[in-house]
Amino acid sequence: MAQPIQFEILAADGAARCGRLITGHGVVDTPAFMPVGTRAAVKAMAPHELWDIGYRMILANAYHLAVRPGADLIREMGGIQAFMGWHGAVLTDSGGFQAMSLASINRIDEDGIRFRSHLDGRPMLLTPESAVEIQQKLQCDIMMALDECTPYPAELSYARQSLELTARWAERSLRARTSENQALFGIVQGSVYPDLRAASARQITSLGFDGFATGGLSVGEPKLLMLEMAELSASFLPVDKPRYLMGVGTPTDLLAAIGMGYDMFDCVLPTRNARNGCAFTSGGRVSIKHSRNIRDSAPLDERCGCRTCRSYSRSYLRHLYRAGEILAARALTEHNLFFYANLIAMARSAIASGNFAQFRRSIASAGMEDFDETEEN
């Protein structure tokens, strides 16, 4: 089978590396953050706005798109890029996370995940084979193998059974792939048990995937434990293939993970927090809802060059948010995604110049705060 993607490491600084991921829809510089466009849309943003900020790859969700509007329709419309008017690359999550997040409407067995649609309750069976079939119809650039995203907390015995199921599903996913133009990534599980993480990584990396992801983290476990498991998992992943840390996304967590050697990231944090009135800035967290912003004529971030910071004051943004204007969500989302794109671009430059550790320290000393990923939901 032809190589659907190419990955080249251009520079390294310790474990951190910057590189180039070549897909059927263009080049993605790594490390790369992918905005989450679950239903083929990044909330509050038009595709050309994401492109102008600098994004070249976004994430969509195969389960949600299979439920509505349907993978067959998207294929008929020319694939997901043509359907949504996006010129860059797309990675689709298979639906394994939904098995956990929609636990009240699913059952997991050897065959796959038995859903009841969150829209109308109709029964669905998502198998490793059907997950690949759906993603091939979507014509995304990178597909994810179906896995069971082990919840936290999980008993040792359950976590072991879960990772073994994920390994069997991984093999079935590879056998189901027929497209030569789409990459397929395998996912490491193992919950928060080091021995299981290592076992899962060995199992998954022994298979013929085009890249590898670390999953099952940032699902409620303590942050230090999450970082420990992410680093342990990364140590088993091949150096010459892209490494993807799924669903982890505070600024300092991203920089920590880049320092571990991860190349790709996604998280709803910048867009979700924006819709709830919270912004990332070079000085830390800003809640636009706060009364201190009523008469503040300054932008969100004096050091930011995004359209929001060039155009609007904190006072105006607070007014928009309090008034329920759609522009508030758009302006804050654009700012947060610009912030993330700039942070990752600076990390790439720091790696290339051999100054990544110093760059991380400078971000910490600037007062950068992490956001609680559930606080503003």
Residue pLDDT tens, the chain, 377 long: 679 999 999 999 999 999 999 999 999 999 999 999 999 999 999 999 999 999 999 999 999 999 999 999 999 999 999 999 999 999 999 987 775 576 666 789 999 998 777 788 888 899 999 999 999 999 999 999 999 999 999 999 999 999 999 999 999 999 999 999 999 999 999 999 999 999 999 999 999 999 999 999 999 999 999 999 999 999 999 999 999 999 998 999 999 999 999 999 999 999 999 999 999 999 899 999 999 999 999 999 999 999 999 999 999 999 999 999 999 999 999 999 999 999 999 999 999 999 999 999 998 877 665 555 444 33
pTM of model > 0.75:
yes
Choice among 13, 147, 210, 266 that is catalytic: 266
- Predicted pLDDT at 369: 53
Buried-state track 235-269, b at ≥16 Cβ within 10 A, e below 16: ebbeeebbbbbbbbbbbbbbbbbbbbbbbbbbbbb
- Show the domains of the chain with their CATH numbers: 6-267 (3.20.20.105), 273-365 (no CATH)
Residue 326, burial from CB neighbour count under 10 angstroms (0-12, 13-18, 19+)? exposed
d(CA 124, CA 136): 18
Residue 181 and residue 4 in contact, taking contact as beta carbons nearer than 8 Å? yes
Say whether 266 is catalytic: yes
Of these residues, 13, 93, 210, 253, which one is catalytic?
93
Is 29 a known active-site residue? no
